[in-house]
Structures are given as C-alpha cells and as structure tokens.
Amino acid sequence: MPEEEQVLAALSQHDEHDGSSGDEARDNASTDSAGGSKKRKRGRYQKTSCELCKARKVKCDRAEPACAWCARHNRTCVYLERQKPGSRIGFSLELEAKVNRIDALLQTLGRRVEEHIADGHTGHSQTLSPAISNHTQSHIDLYAQDRSRSSPASGAARNTPSVAAGPPPGLPGQGWDDGDQRLGRMTSQGMNADYTNATLPALRITPLRRGPSALSAGTDLPAQDVVYTLVDLYFKHCNTWSPILDRKTTFSIFFGSTSLNEADRVLLHAIVATTLRFLKDPRFSPEMRAHYHETSRQIVQMYAMEHVSVEALRALVIVCLDELGTSNGPRGWNLLSLLAQNARQLSLCEESSVFLSVETSDDSPMTGAIRRIAIDRPQSWIEDEGRRRLAWMVYLLDRYATIATTTFDFMLDDNKMRRVLPCSYDLFSRDIPVETRSWGSSPDQHGAAGLVVNKPDNLGSFSYHCEILRILSKVHDFLKTPLDITSSSEMAAWRNTYRSLDASLDSWLRGLPGDYSKISALCHSDPASRVANWFMLHSAYVTAVVRLHSSAAYPTVRSHLFVPSHYAMQRCLSAVQSLGDIAQDVYEASGLDHLGPPFIFSLWVAARLLLVHAATVGCPVDPRIEFFIEILAHVGQYWDVADTYANVLARAVQRGRQSDTNFNAMRQSAHGLVTLTASTRQTGVEPTSTQITSLSELDNIDIFDFFNYPKLSESAVQALGAQSQSQNTNGGTARLPDPESDWLGFVPHGA
C-alpha cells in the first residue's frame, strides 16, 4: 500500500475515534455540482447528525422531529448547530506547513535508508523473520521511488528536527519523532479540510538514560497511528474491567504537548503488549505482532525488575493481564509474586496518612530504612484514587489466579488489605474526592456492623467486584481447611460457617444498585463496554456461588454425615444457567470482546460443573456444555487461555460420549492422581518415584480438581480407613439427592 494511502487510512480511523460520522465528512467535502445556490447548499448541510447517532458512530437520517433510530427506541433526539469553519487563510498556511514537515520527514528517512544501505548493515531486518525482512525491503524500494519524485524541502522544512532511526516507511514502527512532527494527509490534487484538521497527536519522547533498562527509541513501538489506536482499544476492551487508568489523563500524557519520560514509555509498552490482540490492521502479519508483543513485554518486565515504584507496578499489572489471558501458568504466577511483593513494599495495601521524605541529597547507601521512603505522598486525589485502584487490581488478580489452582495460598492477606473500596469510574475520571466504604480493623467484621464508612452512592461496578472477591476469599480459605466428616461437632461447625457465607453472598446481591437487574435489557439496546462490565460482575458472583455450594453438592468423599445436598446442587445449577443466559445476551450483542480473563474463568468453572454434575448423578452431560465450549472458543480469538479451556472441555466431552470411560471414572482418576502427588516423605532417604500420566489424565485433573472436596483431616482418614475411604467416593452411588431429606436443612429464601 503506498504511503499516501496509509496516511489516509490512519486519519480516517482517527476521525472515527473522535466521534465524527462518515456521512458528515462527506457532506462537508461535497461540492455544489448540481448547480444549486450557495444559500440552498448552506441550509441543506447546516443540520448535523443527532447527538445520539454521533455517540454511536452511525449514520443519522436527520429526520424531524426525531431521527428513525431515536424514534424507534423512544430516545430524546437532539440536533446541535454546526460550528462555523475557521479562516481559509489560516487553513492554507497550516496546510503548507504540514506539507513542508512531511516532506522534511520523508527526506530525513530517505537519507537514513541510504546511509544504512551504504554501510552494508542489515539493521532492523536482522531482528525480524525473513518474511518481515522482505516486507521491509519492498517498502524501501517503494520509498526510493516516491522520494525521487519529491520536491526539495523549503527553508522551514530543512530546520525540522530529525527523527530517531526506525523501520522504513510503510512498516509499522515509523512515525516516532523527537520534535513536533505531525502526520498529515497528502493527495495529488490537494487536501480534504476535515481530515487534514484531524491530524494524529504526536508522541514527544525524551532521550532515555543509558544502562540496563535503556529503551530503543526507534524500532520497539509500532507506527504512531497504530499506537494511538492501541491505546484507544485498551480503554475499550481492558480498562473497563481493570480500571486503573484515567482515559483523559493517559491520552494527555501520551499525545499531549509534553515529552514522554521513561516510566510513561514503559506504560505505553505495557498497553501495546496487552492490546495487540484486538488490533485489526492488515499491515500486521503474525510475525510482526509476535515481534512487537515480545519486545514490549520484555521491556516492561526488565523495567519492573529494576524499579520499585507505582509507575512500574502499574505497567506490570497491565502486562500481567496479558499473561493471565494467555495461560494460567508459571509465568503468570511469577509476575503475580512480583506484583504482590511490590504492592506490600510500597504500602499500597493500607491507607497511609504520613509519608517520609529525605531532606538531604546525599547518595550514601541506606539499609532497611529505604523501605519507609519508597513512595511519596500523592499530589492529588485522583493520584491517590489511582493508587487505591492499583492495589485492588493486584488483589483481584491474586484472587483469580490463586482460586484457579485451589491449593495455593493468597499472596495478599485479607487481614492486611485495609484499603477502602474504590469509587465509581465516573467520579474517578472527574477528579471528585468522595468517600466509599471501609471496614473496621477486625478481619471477621463484614456487613453493616463492621462498616466504618458506607457511601453506596459513590460505588461502581469495580467496587462491588472487590467486595464479592472478599467473600470469595473467605470461601476459598474455608474450603482449604481439613475437615473430619465423621465428627458430628465438626460438621455442625462447618454447617454454620457454610450458612454464614451463603448469607453473605445473598446480602451482597441484594445490596447491588437497582440498575443491575436491567443489564440484560440494556445489553440489547446499548451493548457498550460499561454494560459488559456489569456482566463481569455477575460472573464473579457465579464463581463464588459455585465455589461454595459445589462443596456440599458434589463431595468426592462421603460419610453418613456428609452426602450430596439437593439445595446446594440447585444453587449451583441455577448459577450456571444464569451465566449461560448472560453469555448468550453478550454474544448476540457482539460484546464478548469487552469481557476479560475473569469472565473466561467463570465460563470455565460453569462448564466444568456440568461435567461434575453428570459424574455425581450418573446422567449424560447437559447439552448446554456445547454452548459454553463455543463461547470459550469464540473468546479464544482474543484471549488464548479461553481457547485452551475450550479444547480441554471438548476432549473430555468426546471421551465421555465415545468411550467406555464415563465422567464418574474420570473424576475418580483425577482424585486418585491428586491424592497420590500430595503424599510426602517422612525422611530424606525414602525413595521417590515418577507416575507417567497421559493427556487425558491431565485433562481430568484440570476439570475435576477444582471440585475436589472435602480435604480430609488425619482423624477423618483414620476413621474412614483406606478401604472405607475408597468405597465412600461417589463411584457406584450416583443418584440425585432427595430434597426431603437434605442434611443441610435449609429453608428456601422468602418462604
């Protein structure tokens, strides 16, 4: 694609992000070819699209008194007058200046390419695959042809600062300058006024310090228009459910008049690495995506290893989103360990009121006292709230990753997480100091009695998400405690705690805003990211319900005191049904790309529960599992971990339907392998062994280990005995529990 066409495409995309509809641009650029008078033409195009159609970025029929879309949806239709255009003289001067700057930019790049070829270096092509090198060479040839036809630069253009070395024109990676170079739109006959005035903001980058963490200023980031798109995509697809950045502030830093410092540039790399999955740009081959993703990811991780700061932590959180969305494996756990440790070291888990500052500029080494001055006090409320959101996001990632493994301990202790809840994103972005909700110092206090501050009007979906994860944390710790299922006293205490956690979930659900009950209807009428964020919240609730009630509904080991509960089973199945319904709503509204890894994990939990139910009751698996597999596969085009989950489920369902191994046998196999690997040696001289496992056995562990409960205490193991314990697994006793003799003795809510 010629350079001019790339510029046109970039500027057209930029106009779309600014909310300008395509029909308005065409109207403004149209000529009076029909011979109509100027007066008629001015009257015809005086009225713009209505405000709702502008916000939705669709064509408006401009009907009176309301356009067709507003009339059909019973919405207030508002037309605003078009603003008067600027001076044509100033416009011509601006065009001339832009042409001069672009011409100077092309000549500078041309000289660099010629010097590069003359020196005999392979340059950037050595770091990329052969396919990318060929692509680069084709653009070099194209550039040489264009430059031979270009006119000499004017005096003003010759004084334009040169750009940093980078990929040649056409290859993503160009357009990063150290002055105020701006990308304009060139045509052979002239320029369109609307598109020319909408030039992309320029990134101003200061030279970085040299050393282990110095960053390349040329080839490590895609083209300027691509980066602008990536930042916009981040706020549409990620920041809605991970709201740690303010959109206005972030765009001002990246594309404003000030230069980027090293920390800002690292944050930009984090956004690029995480958001490339959403970019639809024909210029990007898979090799290019892999190159820019790996480059940005490594830059952020190296910077975070060398810097303990809020800025480094924020960038690392965004990269961790990318890693956990790729696979829930060791690399993500390592990043989480670093996140949790840095959050503690920066004292982000508590509401600090006094900060230490060093008076002297002496560079003498310090010991443990440096931890006390690792962070300065926030300079504004929005900065303070940003740190609060950052701490809660580390907490959220820690909860999801730990609960997924079931055996790990949380890296951030709930007793030491003494942050107040974040406010709604609207109040955060408007920089309005507000109070939200906070609890007393006692770790057991939860609910109205333990609240120190309670301002629910200032809470948003992220606030409620943090709240439900506090309850889920209690559920996780509760289910990790070993239990003697043969002891009446222990089972009575267990039942009381179980009911208390169930009541906490119900209380949280009743405390949600009234609009929460309307999210399904809103999804079809306005499938915006803010609506999808409430679906993320509901998925977290489903995860908590299934995690708690599956322990009583589908125990792997039973006793006369501990058998499957009909009430708990119905709670699990109802939660899975509700998650399937909202997933269907979001899919029909084409909003699945707005949902992140937490929603994917909830789908994974719900689909596995259907297999556990089939294994426990001895029935065929619910056909709804096919829907969950399809949804996971669909989301897998953005987040690889979803595709992995879909493949594991598909293999298990196929084995259960086509072979002699039923789901009950799969669950017993997983339980046996987990129990075997949990055994430990009493002395260091005892022999060790290796158990060879197949892919199907590993799939069984992935599916059923999450529901491996109860964890038997030593007294329970002795009471049951080895033979009795094997007989008391759910093998051979698969049946639907009797609701009339439910051992939990629950009374339905509202009865």
The pLDDT of residue 628 is 96
Contacts of 156 (CB under 8 A, 6+ apart): 97, 100
What does the DSSP 8-state code read for residue 410? P
The pLDDT of residue 36 is 43
Tell me if 238 sits within 8 A of 639, measured CB to CB. no
Distance from CA of residue 457 to its chain's centroid? Answer: 26
Tokens 């064509």 belong to 59
| % helix, strand, coil for the chain, step of 5 | 60, 5, 40
User: 471-498 in b/e burial notation, b at 16+ Cβ within 10 A?
Assistant: bbbbbbebbeeebbbbbeebbeebbeeb
The pLDDT of residue 429 is 87
Tell me if 670 sits within 8 A of 700, measured CB to CB. yes
Query: What is the spatial distance between Cα 727 and Cα 729, in angstroms, rounded to a whole number?
Result: 6
CA angle 526–528–531, rounded 5-degree value: 90
Is the bond leading into 620 cis (omega within 30 degrees of zero)?
no
H-run or E-run covering 622: none
Q: In this structure, what are the phi and psi dihedrals at residue 712, rounded to the nearest 5 degrees? A: -75, 140
Query: What is the spatial distance between Cα 408 and Cα 402, in angstroms, rounded to a whole number?
Result: 6
Q: Which two tokens stand for residue 42?
A: 């001015």
Tell me if 245 sits within 8 A of 254, measured CB to CB. no
Above pLDDT 70, what percent of the chain? 67
| CA trace torsion 442, 446, 449, 451 (10° rounding) | 80
Size of the chain, expressed as the number of residues it contains: 751
The pLDDT of residue 58 is 81
Q: Which three-class secondary structure state does DSSP give residue 205?
A: strand
The pLDDT of residue 5 is 45
Sign of torsion over alpha carbons 304, 309, 310, 311:
negative
By CB atoms closer than 10 A (0-12, 13-18, 19+), residue 534 is: buried
Q: Which of 299, 310, 309, 250 is nearest to 270 (CA)?
A: 299
- Break the chain into its structural domains and give their ranges: 224-353+378-438+455-459, 493-677+693-723
Q: Which two tokens stand for residue 89?
A: 């003289």
Helices in 360-380 by DSSP H: which ranges? none
The pLDDT of residue 543 is 96
Q: How far is CA 459 from CA 282, 312, 438, 530, 733, in A?
A: 41, 27, 12, 14, 48
Q: Which of 733, 730, 734, 707 is nearest to 617 (CA)?
A: 734
First to last CA, the chain: 69
Largest Cα span, the chain: 100
pLDDT tens digit sequence for 271-303: 999 999 999 988 888 899 999 999 999 999 999
The pLDDT of residue 529 is 56
The pLDDT of residue 81 is 72
Low-confidence residues of the chain: pLDDT under 70: 1-47, 82-94, 96-97, 100, 104, 111-112, 114-219, 353-374, 440-451, 517-530, 660, 721-735, 745-751
The pLDDT of residue 598 is 94
Q: Which two tokens stand for residue 178?
A: 């150290």
What are the strands, taking DSSP E only, across 223-381?
259-260
- Concatenating the DSSP letter of every residue in 101-126 gives HHHHHHHHHHHHHHHHHHTT--GGGG
pTM of the full predicted structure?
0.70
What does the DSSP 8-state code read for residue 40? H
Query: What is the spatial distance between Cα 642 and Cα 635, in angstroms, rounded to a whole number?
Result: 6
Above pLDDT 90, what percent of the chain? 34
